[in-house]
Structures are given as C-alpha cells and as structure tokens.
C-alpha cells in the first residue's frame, strides 16, 4: 500500500470544512494485483482519510484513475425539460453517505461512501455510449424492472440509443448473440416475473467476457446478480482496467435472501415476504381444519433467515420460526418436538416456518447425502422441510392416542418467479437510475444500493466480503420469539458465541446474558442499524 500526504482546498474533496481553512488528507490507493492461476488478485481499494472525527471515504474507481486525459462534458440533464423544476440537478462532489447512522456523541465519523446521483460533468457523450445489460444467478422479483429502467433511463434521460441485452448470464457474452433493447421492447416487462434476458449460474471466463466487451465496443456494462455475480463483475472491472479500456463496469446487487452486506435491503425481498404470506395463510387454514393440524412451510434462506423472520412477523399466525442463524434440537426437554406437542394440546393446531438452510447439520445426520455444489459454488442443501415433517410424524406415531394431520408446503419457486410488487418496482427504478448516473459520470467498479436510506456507490469488495445475516442477539429476533412464544432452543454456549462474534465487530453491542439464555440489547445502547436486521428497522 502506497500512502502520500497532500494538502488541498476543501471544495473538491468529500469533507466539508470552512473555506478559509486548508486540511491535510491522506489518500491511499492499492493497485490491482495481476491475476494468475496460483494467486488471487487483491481488491482495488481507494480510500480518502482525514478531516475531523476519523472520517474515511471508501471511494470507488473512476475512469480517470487510469485514463487521466479523458474528456468530460456537461450533463445533458441540465437541459432536460422534466428536470427544469428540480431545485438541485446534481449531487455535489462532497456529498457522502455514512455507513453507520446511530453512534455515540463521542464516536468517530467513521466510514462513508459516495452518494449516488447525477453529476454536473459526464464522461460519455450520448451518441458514443454502447451499453450492455446482463442478469446472472437465480431469478428473483424485480429483475425485469431493473432491465426496463436501465433501458428507459439511459434513453430518456441521456439520449442513449445503443443498448444491448446479453442472453443467458455471463456465458452469453461469448456464447450468444446480443439482443437490442429499446423502450418499446421493454415496455410492460416489469409486470412479468423472471428476466427477459434469461440467466445462468457460473460459467464465467473473465478473459473471454472482456474480449467480447472489447470486440463489440461496449463501454458501459451493467451486471445484475448476487454476491457471486458481483465477484465476477469485480474481476471484469480489473481486467478492463488492466487493458486500459474506457468502459464503466457497474453492479446492481440482487438476492432474494437479503444477505447482501452493507446495503439496507436487496430488491425482490419485499415481494418475497409478501408472496410467502400466501403460503403461510394456506398452511394456517389447513392446520385449523385438521385434527391436531400442523402446517410446515419452507421458505428461501440458504444462509440468512430474513424472509422467514419477516414473513413470521408479518403473518402473526406462525407458532415457530426456524432459521440458519439459530440452532435448534428435536428431542428432550425444551426441544422442538416437546414444543410442538405442547402447542397442539393448548391450541389444537400450529404453523411452523423453516428457512431452507436451517438445521442442515441435523438433516445430514439422519440421511446419507453427497457433499455437492451447484454451478455457483453453493453447497446443495438437503430438504429440511421434508425431513422435519417426517421427524414430527415419526414422533407422533409413538403416541397412537394423539393423532395429527400434517401438511407440508414448499413455495420456493412460486415466490421467486412472481412479478415485483409496487414497493420493489419503485426501489428497482431508483437502483437502475443510480447505476446509470454513476456510469455516465465515469465511475466504475462499484455496486449501487441504499445505505441508511440514501443510495450510494459501494466498492465491489465491500459487497462481496461477507454475507448479511440475522443477529440472534438483536431486538428484531427477540420480537419473533415474542410473537411466536417459541423457545429460543439455544444453549448458553450458543448465545455467548453469538455475543462474542458481535463484540468483535461492534464492541458497544455486547451486553450481559439475561435469564433464559437470550441476550438483549439495552434500550439505551446505540445500535448499528444495518447489522440489526438488514432493513434498518429497530
């Protein structure tokens, strides 16, 4: 890491100071390591530090970092009739978004990201832009909306007429022809589920993709996909930069599980929770109508239980919610089977919601399986819903005087295949517009998303370094336990381990254990909203 100290006036930098003062800032830039089969390239980190209160700007790359002679042009939005009544056309150079919004009065200013939005100067003329859009990974609600708004935004706001879709995910760059996209061709696609362009997992060959980008003359590439796809986008950006191409590589993070780090939530999540309600409602009706009826609903959530948690809170008909972050056990005092029996005796029916990644260690003990992975490198999960249903049936077979009626519902592919709802449609529009504004302004190598309610440009490495997960020591999970009245199923060691892990990240969030094995956050304690539940709600 090379570090240089420079003295600059406050106007062009991302820290506001009185005009009469100068400030000393440290700008650190880690050059991209050359990739080889034996070594993995280090992420391209660009940071600005200084000013008062420990300010750190985790900046995103700009085309002028490696093309210093690049010309800029006035933003055509300043003459756009639709924006004539907007009081402030452009985002100011010093506007940033704080990663943490709740702090102590003595806390440092901390990490910030560049605020998204249109800039006064752009680095592409409208007639020179040749844009490409690709969707990768599994489908989720909102993909078509993002495609539509990228196309319409580029065309209607910036006058771009050369926009192309890459079919079939990353492989489509070198295995398929492109599809011309116009506002007319994408009209109405936001009312359909899935993706107009098709998608696939894996299959990324960075060199071939960049060869295709170069051969086809693309200078803006929009990549819509999950953390694996964003890692691919980072590799593409690095190769584009290494070749010195004038090409902005932009990511729009997507995951129905809501496990993308840093951002408040991922698009499609609200729609998924809403669609999950229909499955829970059906399970509740079935359970109420049967003798000692049990409805088991398996929802998406490979490593993070956000859909299960929020669907449970929204439903209020759920008696037990099981997620990957919170271990559970079946047999013995305080176990799940004891709770099921008690709830049936008390209410005559119950509904269980289980995330697909929950209890995988228990399932693995009870059945032989192959340790296989899909094309994206994700471990293939066993069907915890089917296994749990069987375990409950086996338990009550031993109690012939206690007959049960169990219905198992797996709405996984129904949930992710539905069109996005109104909330997600608006959200996808904002994401698409923020992405294209950044590309036109010359920024590259970034993902876009809301951080504490404000859209920001986030370096790829921040998006891909870890997954967002439900904190079982947070008030949001405590609300679920209060809503369902289920046991926490945790040993004291489980809770202490979760508390220690949290303490390593945010020391002020760790509180002593309370009676019953649950750890709570004191009402007076400041909380990192992002880590609290991934949606900014406390």
Question: Which pLDDT band, with edges at 50, 70 and 90, does 51 fall under?
Answer: low
Q: Provide the token pair at 388.
A: 């749990």
Question: Which pLDDT band, with edges at 50, 70 and 90, does 177 fall under?
Answer: confident
Most distant CA atoms of the chain, gap in Å: 85
Q: Has 138 been labeled as part of a binding site?
A: yes
Cα(538)–Cα(534) distance, rounded to whole angstroms? 10
Q: Provide the token pair at 536.
A: 């900014």
Question: Which pLDDT band, with edges at 50, 70 and 90, does 12 fall under?
Answer: very low
Query: Stretch 488-516: mean pLDDT, rounded?
Result: 51
pTM (predicted TM-score)? 0.83
Question: Which pLDDT band, with edges at 50, 70 and 90, does 24 fall under?
Answer: very low
Residue 527 has pLDDT above 90, yes or no: no
Residue 514 has pLDDT above 70, yes or no: no
Q: Has 229 been labeled as part of a binding site?
A: yes
Q: What is the DSSP letter of 48?
A: E
Q: One of 44, 59, 257, 270 is an active-site residue; which one?
A: 257
pLDDT of residue 13: 39
Is 215 in the active site?
no
pLDDT of residue 57: 92
Q: Provide the token pair at 82.
A: 């639709």
Q: Has 301 been labeled as part of a binding site?
A: yes
Q: What share of the chain is helix, strand, coil (3-state, %, to 5)?
A: 35, 20, 45
Q: Has 463 been labeled as part of a binding site?
A: no
Which parts of 407-528 fold into alpha helices (H)? 412-416, 422-440, 460-464, 475-484, 492-505
pLDDT tens-digit map of 28-50: 544 444 444 334 445 558 888 87
Residue 173 has pLDDT above 80, yes or no: yes
Q: How many CB atoms neighbour CB 453 within 10 A?
A: 10
- Buried-state track 104-140, b at ≥16 Cβ within 10 A, e below 16: eeeeebebbbbbbbbbeebbbebeebbbbbbbbbbbb
SS3 (DSSP) at 7: strand
Q: Which one has a higher pLDDT value, 450 or 10?
A: 450
Cα(73)–Cα(126) distance, rounded to whole angstroms? 10
Cα(269)–Cα(428) distance, rounded to whole angstroms? 11
DSSP-assigned states of every residue in 375-394 = TTSPBPPP-HHHHHHHHHHH
Query: Stretch 472-490: mean pLDDT, rounded?
Result: 91
Q: Has 414 been labeled as part of a binding site?
A: yes
Q: Which one has a higher pLDDT value, 380 or 439?
A: 439
Q: Has 226 been labeled as part of a binding site?
A: yes
User: Domains, the chain, ranges and CATH?
Assistant: 48-265+420-464 (3.40.50.450), 269-418+471-495 (3.40.50.460)
Of 181, 70, 174, 171, nearest to 131 (Cα)?
181
């Amino acid at each position: 890491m090379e570090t240089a100290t420079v003295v600059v006036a406050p106007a062009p930098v991302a820290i506001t100071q009185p005009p009469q003062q100068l400030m000393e800032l440290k700008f650190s830039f880690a050059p991209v390591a050359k990739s080889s089969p034996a070594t993995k390239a280090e992420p391209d980190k660009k940071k600005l530090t200084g000013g008062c209160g420990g300010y750190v700007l985790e900046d995103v790359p700009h085309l002028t970092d490696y093309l210093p002679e690049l010309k800029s042009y006035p933003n055509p939005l300043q003459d756009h009739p639709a924006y004539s009544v907007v009081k402030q056309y452009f985002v100011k150079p010093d506007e940033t978004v704080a990663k943490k919004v709740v702090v102590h009065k003595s806390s440092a200013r901390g990490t910030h990201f560049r605020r998204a939005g249109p800039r006064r100067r752009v680095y592409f003329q409208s007639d020179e832009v040749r844009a490409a859009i690709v969707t990768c990974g599994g489908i989720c609600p909102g993909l078509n909306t993002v495609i539509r708004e990228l196309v319409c935004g580029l065309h209607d706001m910036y006058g771009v007429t050369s926009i192309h879709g890459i079919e079939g995910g990353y492989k489509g760059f070198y295995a398929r022809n492109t599809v011309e996209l116009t506002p007319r061709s994408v009209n109405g696609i936001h009312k359909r589920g899935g993706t107009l362009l098709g998608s696939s997992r894996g299959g990324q060959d960075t060199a071939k993709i960049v060869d295709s980008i170069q051969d086809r003359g693309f200078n803006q590439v929009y990549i819509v996909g999950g953390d694996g796809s964003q890692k691919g986008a980072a590799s593409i950006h690095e190769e584009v930069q290494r070749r010195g191409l004038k090409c902005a590589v932009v990511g729009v993070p997507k995951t129905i599980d809501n496990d993308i780090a840093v951002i408040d939530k991922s698009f499609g999540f609200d729609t998924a929770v809403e669609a999950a309600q229909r499955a829970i409602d059906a399970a509740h009706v079935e359970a109420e109508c049967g003798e000692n009826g049990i409805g088991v609903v398996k929802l998406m959530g490979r490593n993070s239980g956000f859909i299960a948690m929020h669907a449970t809170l929204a439903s209020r008909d759920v008696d037990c919610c099981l997620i990957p972050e919170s271990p559970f056990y079946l047999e013995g005092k305080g176990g799940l089977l004891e709770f099921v029996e008690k709830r049936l005796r008390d209410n005559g029916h119950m509904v269980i919601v289980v995330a697909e990644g929950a209890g995988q260690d228990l399932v693995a003990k009870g059945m032989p399986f192959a340790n296989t992975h899909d094309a994206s490198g994700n471990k293939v999960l066993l069907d915890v819903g089917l296994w749990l249903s069987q375990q409950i049936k086996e338990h009550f077979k031993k109690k012939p005087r206690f007959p049960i009626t169990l219905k198992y519902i797996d709405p996984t592919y129904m949930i992710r295949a539905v069109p996005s709802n109104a909330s997600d449609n608006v959200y996808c529009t904002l994401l698409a517009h923020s992405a294209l504004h950044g590309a036109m302004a010359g920024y590259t190598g970034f993902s876009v998303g809301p951080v504490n309610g404000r859209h920001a440009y986030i370096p790829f490495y921040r998006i891909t370094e870890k997954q967002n997960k439900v904190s079982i020591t947070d008030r949001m999970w405590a609300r679920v336990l209060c809503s369902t009245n289920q046991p926490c199923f945790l040993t004291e060691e489980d809770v202490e381990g979760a508390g220690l892990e949290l303490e390593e990240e945010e020391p002020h969030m760790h509180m002593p254990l309370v009676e019953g094995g649950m750890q709570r956050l004191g009402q007076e304690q400041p909380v990192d909203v992002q880590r609290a539940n991934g949606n900014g709600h406390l």
